[in-house]
């Protein structure tokens, strides 16, 4: 830094930094994010429409956690990833792409193109422990904050600041975020 | 007006823009931007304990505004900041100096565009000064304090804790319509920073971009800065040129660029109409149109290629229509290319307010014809007599029929002339291409009001399902 001329990307006001989320079906996993050093999200219960699970996998250690939003532990998450966590990884790969998910979680997926299956296998093969510092309440409140965006009204007052956020319509290069 | 779309003179439908002028040097631009770069590089390392190179960047921006009314305040701010003693007032002064320099860059670039287009200039100056009020002053103070902490840490010093400090401010601001501008900016900026934490391991920093967002956010925290009230009402015919979409993870805005013909026969004007909404990050593609569609009937008019008749529609000093469906009704069919050939050359632009004078804000509707196309490593480029004009295909919305391939096979392109990364670029709004000896138009905003296109219907269905799931979840969980 500071030891030479800036590149065109560095001198761009509209440089693309974070790739846009890709469309996916939300019924099974309504919320996924790469945040706070974890892949975390909310997974719908297969049996009870009123229940959701809060699931997470930590980057690097792959320590996992899964519980209901009322803090009851998930019966499946003993000894290894439960189906909720597997679904979470699968949907994260759809939303962000396997490469970005793998990079964030620090997974060495071996040869070939990574996919949800290879990422999950690579993580479970290290026999990760469960994550006792579960941040279920925090993840759930982030999900509620996310849902609240639907309740905010639209406006026809112009937002000139959005000129700095052109749509990411077609694949662009130069994104740096993990 | 010429009804069949022929030009009112015999210029033969060729390119009416002197593209060669767009790639010529603009006097003073490099010097102004070098001063901006110097300051921006100081922000990379942070202003807590500036090193000599950073102090040089700070002195450089002070020198660059030495002949202006900002001179003494900025000189003091640069001096104090270089010694590690900069406070909020100093940072605001530095952000103002940077904004003024980019304002001068904007003016020089706009003057060059006017020369290349040979269009009418601004007919009335934008001199609205809005008195600052004390609305939500505590939130603006909190935002300013977060931005100053960011500047001290520098982009290489950001971590989750620091960046997370924006969340409560954004959450408190978003429901207040008067704070939508700073809230939306801070939200998008903080999400981007969070995705790049920790800053210490960043290989590459978007130096100009983050300094832009930081400086703009800081100035928006000053009382009255984000206010752009209506200054009049307009009645007449609105002829849409096309739709531009902007989005970050949790917000979307569509802007329709159009020519407005006053009913009293006055000068036609270049105007915009905008509609925006906060959104969950999983609402993308066609879902963006679905979110916005119910709030602005003009989006349907864009899809249907119609004009609209406006009756006392409020307008700001910058030519932004503050859209109200009750003051607009659908008019006759209007071909955007006819509008571009006949009405656009005579339409006068509005002035730009001081805070909005920035190269990234340049979006001048133009028509380019009579070009060859090269589609190589640097993307699609239009080869016009006397010059080359790069196409910014990345700005074309995914939920629409216009693709880079369609642009590459086009014969006429109606777009927004923009400037970024040191060059002018053309953002396509619509193109004409020849299919079986007939001229067919393809619009980026064709799906804005809805679509019967097969791929479009599929995208609409997927987007509807996504929002239905989220609303159902919100209904169950948010109101417990």
Q: Which residues contact B217 (CB under 8 A, 6 or more apart)?
A: B143, B147, B182, B185, B186, B189
Res. A168: pLDDT tops 90: no
Q: Which residues contact B157 (CB under 8 A, 6 or more apart)?
A: B45, B46, B48, B199, B200
* Contact: A12, B191; criterion CB under 8 Å: no
Res. B252: pLDDT tops 50: yes
Q: Identify which of A11, A162, A10 has the alpha carbon closest to the alpha carbon of residue B102.
A: A11
Res. A176: pLDDT tops 60: no
pLDDT at residue B6, rounded to an integer: 39
Q: Write the ipTM.
A: 0.95
The pTM of the full predicted model, rounded to 2 decimals, is 0.93
Rounded to the nearest integer, the mean pLDDT of chain B is 92
> Half-sphere exposure of residue B92, counting CA atoms within 13 Å on the CB side?
15
pLDDT at residue A173, rounded to an integer: 40
Q: Which residues contact B429 (CB under 8 A, 6 or more apart)?
A: B241, B242, B243, B244, B257, B336, B365, B414, B415, B416, B443, B444, B445
Which residues in A lie closer than 8 A to residue B296 (C-beta atoms)? 156
pLDDT at residue B257, rounded to an integer: 98
pLDDT at residue B1, rounded to an integer: 39
Res. B124: pLDDT tops 90: no
- Tokens (6 digits) for B14: 């060729």
Res. B7: pLDDT tops 50: no
> Of B213, B276, B474, which is closest to A147 when you measure between CB atoms?
B474
Cβ atoms of residues B420 and B376 within 8 Å: no
pLDDT tens digits, one per residue of B340-364: 999 999 999 999 999 999 999 999 9
pLDDT tens digits, one per residue of B322-338: 999 999 999 999 999 99
- Tokens (6 digits) for B323: 């859209």
A1 touches chain B (CB under 8 A): yes
Confidence band (pLDDT; 50, 70, 90) for A4?
low
Q: Identify which of B5, B13, B21 has the alpha carbon closest to the alpha carbon of residue B386.
A: B21
pLDDT at residue A3, rounded to an integer: 47
Return the H-helix or E-strand segment holding B90: helix B88-117
- Mutate: best of A12, A143, A166, A173, partner B, most B CBs <10 A: A166
Relative to beta strand B306-316, strand B372-376 is unpaired
- Tokens (6 digits) for B72: 């003494």
> Half-sphere exposure of residue B328, counting CA atoms within 13 Å on the CB side?
26
Which residues in A lie closer than 8 A to residue B180 (C-beta atoms)? 155, 157, 159
Res. B223: pLDDT tops 60: yes
pLDDT at residue A134, rounded to an integer: 65
Mean pLDDT to the nearest integer, B106-113: 95
- Tokens (6 digits) for B191: 């999400």
Confidence band (pLDDT; 50, 70, 90) for A108?
confident
Q: Identify which of B8, B228, B128, B6 has the alpha carbon closest to the alpha carbon of residue A156.
A: B228
pLDDT at residue A169, rounded to an integer: 64
pLDDT at residue A19, rounded to an integer: 84
Q: Identify which of B180, B101, B193 has the alpha carbon closest to the alpha carbon of residue B147.
A: B193
- Tokens (6 digits) for A55: 């699931």
> Of A27, A149, A165, which is closest to B188 when you measure between CB atoms?
A165
A176 touches chain B (CB under 8 A): yes
Neighbours of B26 (CB within 10 A): 15
* Contact: A27, B465; criterion CB under 8 Å: yes
Which residues in A lie closer than 8 A to residue B37 (C-beta atoms)? 6, 11
> Of B54, B192, B476, which is closest to A18 when you measure between CB atoms?
B192
For A159, the closest chain B residue by CA position comes to B181
Length of chain A: 178
Beta strands in chain A (DSSP E): 31-35, 38-44, 52-58, 64-68
Res. B389: pLDDT tops 70: yes
Mean pLDDT to the nearest integer, B403-412: 94
Which positions 140-159 of A are in contact with B (Cβ < 8 Å)? 143-159
What strands lie across the sheet with A52-58, from one edge to the other?
A: A31-35, A38-44, A52-58, A64-68
């Amino acid at each position: 830094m500071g030891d030479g001329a800036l590149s065109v990307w560095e001198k761009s006001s509209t440089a693309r930094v974070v790739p846009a989320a890709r469309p996916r079906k939300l019924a099974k996993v309504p919320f996924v994010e790469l945040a706070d050093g974890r892949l975390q999200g909310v997974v719908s219960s297969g049996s009870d429409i009123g229940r959701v699970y809060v699931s997470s996998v930590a980057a690097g250690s792959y320590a996992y956690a899964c519980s209901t939003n009322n803090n009851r532990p998930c019966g499946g998450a003993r000894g290894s990833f439960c189906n909720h966590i597997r679904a979470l990884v699968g949907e994260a790969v759809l939303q962000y792409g396997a490469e970005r998910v793998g990079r964030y979680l620090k997974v060495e997926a071996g040869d070939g193109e990574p996919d949800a299956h290879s990422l999950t296998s690579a993580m479970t093969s290290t026999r990760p422990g469960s994550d006792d510092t579960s941040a279920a309440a925090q993840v759930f409140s982030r999900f509620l904050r996310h849902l609240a965006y639907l309740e905010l009204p639209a406006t026809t007052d112009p937002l000139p600041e959005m000129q700095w956020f052109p749509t990411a319509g077609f694949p662009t290069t130069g994104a740096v975020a993990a | 007006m010429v009804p069949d779309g022929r030009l009112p003179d015999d210029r033969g439908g060729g390119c009416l823009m002197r593209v060669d002028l767009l790639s010529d040097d603009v006097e003073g631009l490099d010097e102004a931007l070098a001063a901006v770069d110097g300051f921006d590089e100081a922000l990379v390392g942070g202003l807590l304990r500036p090193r000599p190179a950073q102090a040089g960047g700070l002195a450089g921006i002070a020198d660059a505004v030495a002949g202006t009314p900002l001179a003494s305040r900025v000189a003091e701010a640069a001096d104090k900041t270089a010694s590690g003693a900069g406070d909020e007032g100093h940072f605001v002064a530095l952000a103002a100096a940077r904004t003024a320099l980019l304002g001068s860059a904007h003016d020089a670039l706009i003057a060059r565009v006017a020369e290349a287009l040979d269009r009418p200039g601004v007919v009335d100056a934008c001199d609205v000064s809005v008195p600052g009020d004390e609305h939500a002053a505590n939130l603006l103070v909190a935002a300013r304090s977060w931005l100053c902490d960011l500047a001290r840490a520098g982009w290489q010093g950001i971590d989750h804790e620091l960046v997370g400090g924006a969340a409560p401010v954004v959450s408190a601001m978003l429901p207040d319509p008067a704070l939508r501008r700073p809230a939306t900016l801070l939200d998008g900026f903080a999400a981007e920073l969070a995705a790049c934490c920790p800053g210490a391991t960043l290989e590459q920093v978007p130096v100009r971009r983050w300094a832009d967002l930081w400086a703009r956010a800081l100035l928006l925290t000053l009382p009255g800065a984000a206010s752009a009230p209506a200054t009049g009402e307009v009645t007449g015919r609105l002829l849409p040129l096309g739709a531009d979409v902007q989005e970050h993870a949790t917000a979307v805005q569509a802007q329709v660029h159009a020519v407005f013909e006053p009913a009293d026969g006055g000068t036609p004007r270049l105007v915009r109409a905008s509609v925006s909404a906060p959104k969950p990050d999983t609402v993308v593609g066609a879902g963006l149109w679905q979110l916005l569609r119910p709030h602005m009937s003009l989006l349907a008019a864009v899809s249907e290629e119609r004009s609209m008749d406006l009756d006392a529609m409020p307008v700001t000093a910058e030519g932004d229509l503050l859209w109200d469906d009750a003051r607009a009704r659908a008019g006759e069919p209007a071909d955007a290319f006819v509008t571009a050939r006949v009405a656009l050359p005579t339409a006068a632009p509005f002035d730009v307010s001081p805070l909005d004078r920035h190269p990234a804000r340049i979006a001048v509707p133009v028509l380019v014809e009579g070009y060859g196309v090269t589609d190589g490593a640097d993307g699609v480029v239009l080869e016009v007599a006397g010059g080359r004009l790069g196409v910014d295909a990345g700005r074309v919305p995914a939920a629409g029929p216009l693709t880079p391939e369609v642009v590459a096979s086009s014969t006429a392109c109606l777009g927004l002339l923009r400037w970024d990364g040191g060059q002018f670029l053309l953002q396509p709004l619509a193109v004409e291409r020849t299919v079986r000896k007939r001229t067919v138009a393809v619009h980026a905003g064709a799906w804005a009001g809805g679509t019967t296109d097969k791929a479009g219907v599929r995208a609409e269905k997927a987007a509807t399902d996504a929002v239905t799931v989220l609303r159902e979840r919100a209904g169950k969980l948010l109101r417990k």
